[in-house]
Amino acid sequence: MSTPSATGFRAGWTALPARVRADLEAFLGSPVVAAVNQDGGFSPGLAARVRCADGRRAFVKAVGRDLNPDTPDLHRAEARVAADLPLTAPVPRFRHFYDDGDWVALVFDEVDGRMPALPWSSADLHRVLDALGELARSLTPCPLDDVPAATEKLHADMLGYRRLLDRTPDDLDPWELRHLPALAELAESALSILDGDTLVHLDVRADNVLLTDDRVMFVDWPWATRGAAWIDTAVLGVNAAVHGHDPDVLLADNPLLERVDPTPLLAGLAGTWAEASRRPAQPGMPTIRAFQRAHGAAALGWVRRRTGWT
């Protein structure tokens, strides 16, 4: 299976409007003299480690509606979550927010870390899985009052296969097509197991993780929700499967999945990716559909093995 990465074409520092750069430099207290965009993520906006004339360093994200009409709202959602995350959470410290109605920018402390190398190594995966257990414990009960419940956040996603029943694409996987009604029912049943009182990241994948010498940091929280503590672990299992790992072997002894069968959620993810990957590409995000196809195929393969349907 091909393994497309979550990458795009990012705007540079000088592409930001002068008013945005001026606000950020005023907050940083010194002119920015270097800005290096980081790999990973689909946003066409800036996502850069910046260095100021006085030596200060920070991580800056910024995007405008002309680059992609939906991404500014994701940055606004991330700012709301980041502002209220507990200081003990393994996340970069949020420092500043700019919003002029068109352009949105966020400033975080720079983390001296690296993203996991792809394809995932077993060592990095197990390190992140252990960290997800610690993350779930530290964010239970959910420390944020205004995030949606997982059943609300994922309701439409879990009905992807249900919608495909009404307009069945002729290029579905043959096994997927044969079992489409059962997959729709299985995915919808996930809505009965997603509730919980943990702050869930919901988008854990390699490019949303930073590994330092002694910590695992989780970045990019716009999809945060209140839900079951095991959700992030199952989502990471799909990302690992895309890169050749057997998620059932990887997660065989994972304590977060001891008492739950994640198959309904996996079916829901396969359905929403099957639907989304067939839409036209989003502005400024040329790789997102290939990424969704690969993850949909990985989730579907996992569901097929777990159900044993012939």
7: left (phi over 0), alpha (psi -120 to 50) or beta: beta
* pLDDT value at residue 6: 53
* pLDDT value at residue 191: 98
The string of DSSP letters for 62-120 reads EEETTT-SSHHHHHHHHHHHHHHS-TTSSSPPEEEEEE-SSEEEEEEPPP--BPPPSSP
Q: Which of 304, 72, 60, 12 is nearest to 182 (CA)?
A: 304
pLDDT per residue, tens digit, the chain (310 aa), is 445 555 556 899 999 999 999 999 999 999 999 999 987 777 889 999 999 999 999 999 999 999 999 999 999 999 999 999 999 999 999 999 999 999 999 999 999 999 999 999 999 999 999 999 999 999 999 999 999 999 999 999 999 999 999 988 889 999 999 999 999 999 999 999 999 999 999 999 999 999 999 999 999 999 999 999 999 999 999 999 999 999 999 999 999 999 999 999 999 999 999 999 999 888 888 888 999 999 999 999 999 999 999 8
Single-letter amino acid code for the residue at 132:
L
- Separation CA 137–CA 140 (nearest Å): 5
CB atoms within 10 A of CB 195: 12
Contact 200, 166 (CB under 8 A): no
Contact 92, 112 (CB under 8 A): no
* pLDDT value at residue 120: 96
The token pair that represents 127 in the structure block: 């390190």
The token pair that represents 141 in the structure block: 């009960």
- φ, ψ (nearest 5 deg) of residue 64: -120, 165
- Separation CA 195–CA 225 (nearest Å): 10
H/E element holding 173?
A: none
- How confident is the model over 99-119, as pLDDT tens digits? 999 999 999 999 999 999 999
Contact 119, 241 (CB under 8 A): no
Contact 137, 215 (CB under 8 A): no
Q: Which of 24, 7, 29, 32 is nearest to 103 (CA)?
A: 24
Query: Half-sphere exposure (CA, 13 Å, Cβ side) for 162?
Result: 12
For the chain, the helix, strand and coil percentages under 3-state DSSP, each to the nearest 5: 45, 15, 40
Q: Which residues of 217-227 are buried (b: 16+ CB within 10 A; e: fewer)?
A: bbbbbbbbbbb
